[in-house]
Amino acid sequence: MGVKKIIITSCKGGVGKSTIAANLGLRLAQNGHKTLLVDCDFGIRSLDLILGAEDRVVFDIRDVAIRGVEFSRAVISDNRSPLLDFCAAPAGECQAIEPSLFRATINRVAEEHGYEYILLDTPGDEGDTFTMAASAAESALIISTMLPTSIRAAEKTGVAVAEAGITNQRLIINCFDFTTKPPPGQASVLEIVDKTYLQLIGIIPYDSRLPELQLKGGLIDELPGTNTAAAFANIAQRLTGRNIPLFTSFRGINRKNLMKHILSTRPV
């Protein structure tokens, strides 16, 4: 089976792209898939912080592609799983790598190191770095929260991703709060799918423990048995082609609230 190269993207900032890249990467690795995370957010890299690896970064992906630094000197092996590797973005503002060079670098690294999944974390815009990352990917995970601006951004991102030649697109809804009734006017899951024209691959709950964990470089493995952990496990399974229900292993769901969130909340 060939490597799967996936951009985790939205042209809106702060919707959870890096959080999802890191935690999904860990889950894929824990499922036995050799996975590489590449931070493509040049200028404001964050995956090193989220992974708790900021003190270990010496070289970055730009050094590998442009300065001829060996990938083995730039790659960081995650302490949680021997199958999870990470390559940082350059720290300061700098130009994107020319797309054909970036694509060739990613393909070379994939082949030489036998990765099954390469997750490319993109910045929250459609600039040169997005174009660079998209050039190396054949699929996209587009992230939206329940907020109208984020939903609109997901729709726009789907178009940008298609224009970059990636037709295999899936939607992840992040920060989904089904513990309470949906606030009046909030779009339902069905409406989000309808508006973005994207096929849904997963729903991740809002979980205040995630940002807390991130302060100390912690990931989802520290929240075993939670719905948030189940959400990442389900998305990892669905990515590998298993057709499991969206809310597999979720506990304590208020089905009535959930249905209100999924179906339209607006009066007809």
Ligand X SMILES: Nc1ncnc2c1ncn2[C@@H]1O[C@H](COP(=O)(O)OP(=O)(O)OP(=O)(O)O)[C@@H](O)[C@H]1O
Residue 72: CB minimum distance to ligand X, A: 27
- Kindly identify the residues of this chain, within the stretch 30-69, that bind ligand X according to CB under 6 A: 41, 46
CA distance 109 to 107: 5
Answer with the entry of ligand X, Mg ion, none that 243 interacts with (C-beta below 5 to 8 A by kind): none
Nearer residue to ligand X within complex by CB, 135 or 144: 144
Residue nearest to ligand X (CB): 124
Task: Count other C-beta atoms under 10 Å from residue 161's C-beta.
Answer: 27
Please choose, out of 90-98, 206-214, 232-240, 241-249, the segment that lies near ligand X by the rule CB under 6 A. 206-214
Q: Judge contact between 125 and 11, C-beta under 8 A.
A: yes
SS3 251: coil
Per-residue string for binding with Mg ion, 1-40, x by CB under 5 A? ----------------xx----------------------
Q: Which residues contact 72 (CB under 8 A, 6 or more apart)?
A: none
- Closest to 29 in 3D by CA, of 110, 112, 111, 116: 116
**Does residue 45 touch Mg ion according to CB under 5 A?**
no
State the residue for tokens 């970055």.
60
Nearer residue to ligand X within complex by CB, 71 or 178: 178
Beta-strand relationship, 117-121 and 84-87: unpaired
**Termini Cα distance of the chain:** 48
Q: How many CA atoms lie within 13 A of 160 on its CB side?
A: 25
Residue 133: CB minimum distance to ligand X, A: 12
Among 4, 5, 17, 34, interactor with ligand X by CB under 6 A = 17
**Does residue 234 touch Mg ion according to CB under 5 A?**
no
Interaction site with ligand X (CB under 6 A):
13-19, 41, 46, 123-124, 174-175, 204, 206-208, 210-211, 214
